[in-house]
Amino acid sequence: MLHARLGRPLGRAYADLSKAWAPCRRSLQSSGCPEHNKLLNERRQSHSTASSRQQQQAPMEQESPVSAYVHLPFCKRRCYYCDFPVSVVGSKPEQPGIQQGMQDYITLLCREIEATVKVPGPPLRTVFFGGGTPTLVPPQLLKQILIALNNKYGIAKDAEISMESDPGTFDALRLQEYMLLGVNRFSMGVQCFQQELLELCGRSHTLEDVYTAIDNIHKAEVQNWSLDLISGLPQLNSKRWQHSLQEAVSASPTHISVYDLQVEAKTPFARWYEPGSHPMPTDEATADMYRAASQFLQQSGYEHYEISNYAKPGFRSQHNLGYWRNAPFYAFGVGAASYLFQRRFSRPRTMKAYQQWVTEFANCSSSIGLYAGNIPGSGSMQAEELEEQLLDYVMLRLRLADGIPMDELQRKFGHVAAQTVKATLASGSAYAEKYACETYSQGQQHVRLTDPEGFLVSNDCIATLFAELSSDAACDPMLQIAELS
């Protein structure tokens, strides 16, 4: 069984989708789902020859980006499972040298913002500060970024402005200072409620820091905040997992993210542990943790609206919903990835390379670079073909509990694609009922994965669907464009 090891928060790691969306990044991400990234990468490599026969490109993306991801890479230390682009600043980030380094980075980041073309359209509806640990950045430096974004793109008055945080990096006053700047949503990486497991992960915070941070959030009267947990940690068992779930709910966040641990190459965890082998939980034990989380959190009043995410009614992450709906977005900072004009581009992952890239980017015509795909360091980027757009759309939409809206799928990609999805996942298919189903919402038909069993085998479902959609009949751009015209 291929269960959903979707361990990356999209807001924090969307840039990592470049591994799948060559020649750029998740982050997903993302932007956040490594096994889905692998499926995408394998699928695109296997179809490189077929794609060369299909030179007809889809029309340029008409939807205007209304979201921006900003990467703030500073961390007190690197966790043992982490392969994000981070800059370790140690336990005393307030030292003058560290503060100057942060200022230099913010100046560089603002230069990138100023050099990036503004796509005609409305102001930004969401801004997400990911990392790293953004709450290590002083409010006066964060203000510089928000001013740069507002001057260039505009920020809607009711925009969702999110900021990732770690326990031990803020107090109530600091949160209030961020809120005065417009930040209205915080996402805190707790990961677990056991001191020994925090130490095993190399986290910079203690369990005492966790409870202090929760108190500070409530003292600051933060109305919208998320708490992150990680399942599949070494020495994690069902009893400890249930305790973490109970403590998370007791903290009263409006949103909870539950990510399955990813053992990434070149990390200490990759040297020390083998997934599924002691002291790591077995795949079945991890699947049971997923089932337990889904049941307990829904019973506690959270809607399971995405494979790894739960929210109180009205508190879904609007920024991440943009990722899962495959909407275009800006991105800035080391290792960050943008999606504009049907092109995904990842910035360099090291500070030195990023600095050089920004200099080259700022010295060229950014509007020509984005529209033509001639971004420094990327070669000549081609817009995604219709087949790629279709498969990205399907993969991301199936992460959502709402699933794939069939009318929209047919409108975007044609009748053949819509019928293929229904035949593969809906009535009469091998996945029907237990793993996938058809639903109706406000008169609209959706095909979605079931919760939790369908989500647990999402990789298997998506791989099968990719194979069907990659047939000549389902993905020929000329055929689909003819149907859409």
- Report which of residues 473 and 105 the model is more confident about: 105
pLDDT score recorded for residue 295: 98
Residue 57 confidence class, pLDDT cut points 50, 70, 90:
very low
pLDDT score recorded for residue 175: 98
Residue 382 confidence class, pLDDT cut points 50, 70, 90:
confident
- Report which of residues 252 and 3 the model is more confident about: 252
Q: Are 14 and 69 in contact (CB under 8 A)?
A: yes
Residue 69 tokens read as: 């991801």
pLDDT score recorded for residue 363: 85
* pTM for this model (two decimals): 0.87
- Report which of residues 25 and 255 the model is more confident about: 255
Is 50 exceeded by the pLDDT of residue 484? no
Phi (first) and psi of residue 260, to 5 degrees: -90, 135
If you average pLDDT over residues 125-135, what whole number do you get?
Answer: 97
* Three-class SS of the chain: CCCCCCCCCHHHHHHHHHHCCCCCCCCCECECCHHHHHHHHHHHHHCHHHHHCCCCCCCCCCCCCCEEEEEECEECCCCCCCCCCCEECCCCCCCHHHHHHHHHHHHHHHHHHHHCCCCCCCCEEEEEEEECCHHHCCHHHHHHHHHHHHHHHCEEEEEEEEEEECCCCCCHHHHHHHHHCCCCEEEEEEECCCHHHHHHHCCCCCHHHHHHHHHHHHHCCCCCEEEEEEECCCCCCHHHHHHHHHHHHHCCCCEEEEEECCCCCCCHHHHHCCCCCCCCCCHHHHHHHHHHHHHHHHHCCCEEEECCEEECCCCCCHHHHHHHCCCCEEEECCCCEEEECCEEEECCCCHHHHHHHHHHHHHCCHHHHHHHCCCCCCCCCCCCCHHHHHHHHHHHHCCECCCEEHHHHHHHHCHHHHHHHHHHHCCCCCCECCCEEEEEECCEEEEEECCCHHHHCHHHHHHHHHHHHCCHHHHCHHHHHHHHC
CA–CA dist 394, 470 (Å, integer): 12
If you average pLDDT over residues 472-480, what whole number do you get?
Answer: 47
pLDDT score recorded for residue 52: 39
If you average pLDDT over residues 126-132, what whole number do you get?
Answer: 97
Q: Per residue in 149-167, pLDDT tens?
A: 999 999 999 999 999 999 9
pLDDT score recorded for residue 63: 82
pLDDT score recorded for residue 92: 93
Is 50 exceeded by the pLDDT of residue 485? no
pLDDT score recorded for residue 482: 42
CA–CA dist 3, 286 (Å, integer): 9
